[in-house]
Structure 1
């Protein structure tokens, strides 16, 4: 019989009724979940809420976790779904609220602060990634910022390897288009 990893042991303890084992799971994965949520959402104000929602969903669903994938991948799947749900709600709210054309840009202050804190390169790339459609932003974030392998990404997003590669290729093309002029300046 294969030796159980520390993570599998935590899951097993939790399944046997030791709710404190979940604290260890949160401790191991909270930073990664928060980083993924921040990168997918593009605005840090919602990250804490998403992380809390992810671990609440994890707590209620962990007893049904089959182990077909790693615990980190399972939590990332929940994170992606929570971020998608939050983005849909945000778009719905923006569409239902009438915004005057003369009103100030709601994100101008945040963008100004970020530009001051981040280097020019980081700020430009970050804006370009944030401008990608969600399905393209997800694959870029998961591959290049979270370092997931193709198989993990496919399982997490529920898509085939071919679909993932198509999304990644299209995302890179859009990034080249949005950063192309700047890239040519710097090279």
Structure 2
């Protein structure tokens, strides 16, 4: 975690040890250092999610920045009925949907694994090529899914959110989430059959 201008500690504690609820209350009181910890802690996951839902890096950055700007102004109203992480995902999902509505198509052009996660000096080039092909096939299969099932799958399988949290993020019910995940998993199993 970057400690930047606010130093190694915040509120007399290592910033990594401060619970989200405390950070949210501090940020609601316009504590910029607390908000920076929130951004550092949750920003990568929100970016990952938005990037996989949108097809343009600039749209993704704009979406995540808009989500954090909305969070900053809305934190005084954050009641804590959900976790801060779930609340931030809900804001980001709303911004993603808004961005998708402004565009005529949605796609997922980049590899599922971020470029900085790929070992460019793999010892086994054949295995590396297979892995790249597998990720490309997964990307293609994900692009075929409608936004709802794709979002549910990403939030569950990549970000580890519970069904209840996904329902809250999506503004739907856990039954709908189950249905979306069933649809997404079925589609992916069918499309990825050749990779078994």
Q: TM-score, length-normalised on structure 2?
A: 0.73
User: What's the counterpart of residue 144 of structure 2?
Assistant: 131
Number of the residue aligned with 1:31: 44
Unaligned runs of 5+ in 1: 95-106
> How far apart in 2 are the matches of 1:146 and 1:18?
27
Partner of 2:176, secondary structure, is helix
User: Which protein is richer in helix relative to its size?
Assistant: 1
Superposition RMSD in Å: 2.5
Distance across 2 between alignment mates of 1:27 and 1:186? 36
Preserved CA contact (<8 Å) 1:53 1:82? yes
Partner of residue 88 from structure 1, selected from 95, 101, 121: 101
Deviation at 1:171, TM superposition (A): 1.6
- When normalised by structure 1's length, the TM-score is 0.76
Other-structure match for 2:62: 49
In the TM superposition, residue 44 of structure 1 has moved relative to its aligned partner by 3.0
Cα distance in 1 for residues equivalent to 2:53 and 2:32: 29
Q: Which runs of 4+ in 1 moved over 6 A?
A: none
Aligned pair count? 161
